[in-house]
Amino acid sequence: MKMLALAHGFKALGRGGVTLQVLPVSYTRAKSNILWFEERPLSDLLDMAGYSAYWAERGINVTDAADTAGCPVFECVVRKRASVPMSAHTARPPGMTWHPLLDRTTLGTAAAIEAYIDAQLKGLEAEGGAAAAAAAAAGGVEPAIVPLVVPEGDWGRRRPDGESWAAGGGSGCVVFNMEWPVYIATDWAERSPPAQLLKGFSFPDPILAAAAAVHSALLARLAGPGRAFHALHLRIEDDWRQREAGVAGRRVDDVDLVARFIACMRRADFTPQSAVYAASGIFQTMELKQLSELTQRFHSAGVLGALYHKEALVEPYVLQGLSMEQLALVDLLVIKEAALLVGDKNSTFSEVAVYMREGDGRGPETFHYVLPEF
């Protein structure tokens, strides 16, 4: 979403012709308590044709196979494992965007990139023009060659229409690689509302089919007018418990985490009559006794009448073969239809669910976040 916001930033600066190239891979967790991932095809999670078509109608080119032959390549990427979070859990971690690009606004990021490319191309011209550009295309250019010194807010400069960024390279294009741009474009959500950015998401057929089956099975279990249900993103997996223990500075167990959700469900007016669909990785490994104890805690607190989850609603073959991320998207497509949603604001899953619901026209009163205090 930040890259889409950045594309809007380039357009605001009068710079057209920007193409966002998505890496043709996705990542999936091997286990719920391992924080980094194994590579899978991008098509596991995204219908690229539908995604590209949506943004093409809005003037932004998004592709997973751009023709970059002959283009000079500039990398603003740090590849040291010590600089990449969670790199110990994968053999080939992505690089992190180079630090001088971080913590800038969307327009500030776009202006800094433009200035960096201009400076690099001038350097290539001084060293031999097209030959140096071809060498850059073959091996990339170390980002330390030209410091990023564009002051925040200095984005008034425009290049004349028709002037190519690759004037020194003769190729008509440049490639600017940031890999994992997690900390760029600090105001991206204000400049490009996430609810609108997420409308472009297109999911592959196996995910859509599984979500439709789960949603249909859920509605078949419900009674009453409209067959409404509430949703709960129950983020209490092992990795989250470890994270929360680090934040709290002490041991955190399931009792602590579930208590926060119960308190939030009460604030959100969940009742003993509420039908609740829960999204959580715990249901993939939880034994029947543990599930019974968990359900009883919610019943005793008076915040639900029935607790549902996808693993108990459909036959195993419906979900068979889906990765952890694909299963999460099944949950996402179901909970976005709920009347009320309780989640954890520190979770990107809860965040995306809220944005998708906003895009569907659901107001802020329909979602509630757990409080961080124990």
Which residues, in sequence order, are CB contacts of 129 under 8 Å at separation 6+?
Answer: 168, 169, 170
In the block, which residue shows the tokens 């000079």?
Answer: 72
Listed in order, strand segments (DSSP E) in the chain are 19-21, 25-29, 37-41, 61-63, 73-75, 77-78, 96-97, 175-177, 230-233, 275-279, 306-308, 341-343, 367-369
Dihedral pair phi/psi, residue 262, rounded to 5°: -60, -45
240/297 Cα distance (integer angstroms) = 20
Give how far the C-alpha of residue 40 lies from the chain's centroid of Cα atoms, to the nearest Å: 16
What do you get for the CA distance between the two ends of the chain, in Å? 32
Query: What are the tokens at 12?
Result: 């605001």
Q: Kindly report whether the global pTM for this prediction surpasses the value 0.85.
A: no
pLDDT tens for the chain, residues 1 to 374: 888 888 888 888 887 778 888 877 777 766 655 555 677 888 999 999 999 999 889 888 888 888 777 788 887 887 776 656 556 666 666 677 877 788 888 988 888 888 888 877 777 666 555 544 454 444 443 333 333 333 333 332 333 333 333 333 334 678 888 888 878 888 888 878 888 888 888 999 999 999 999 999 999 999 765 679 999 999 887 767 676 666 666 666 667 788 889 999 999 999 999 999 999 888 877 777 888 888 999 999 999 999 999 999 999 999 999 988 899 999 999 999 999 999 998 888 999 999 999 999 999 999 999 976 54
Question: What topology is assigned to 204-369 in CATH?
Answer: Rossmann fold (3.40.50)
3-state class percentages of the chain: helix first, strand second, coil last, to nearest 5: 45, 10, 40
Taking the domains of the chain in order of start, what are their residue ranges?
2-199, 204-369
Dihedral pair phi/psi, residue 161, rounded to 5°: -55, 140
Q: Are 268 and 340 in contact (CB under 8 A)?
A: yes
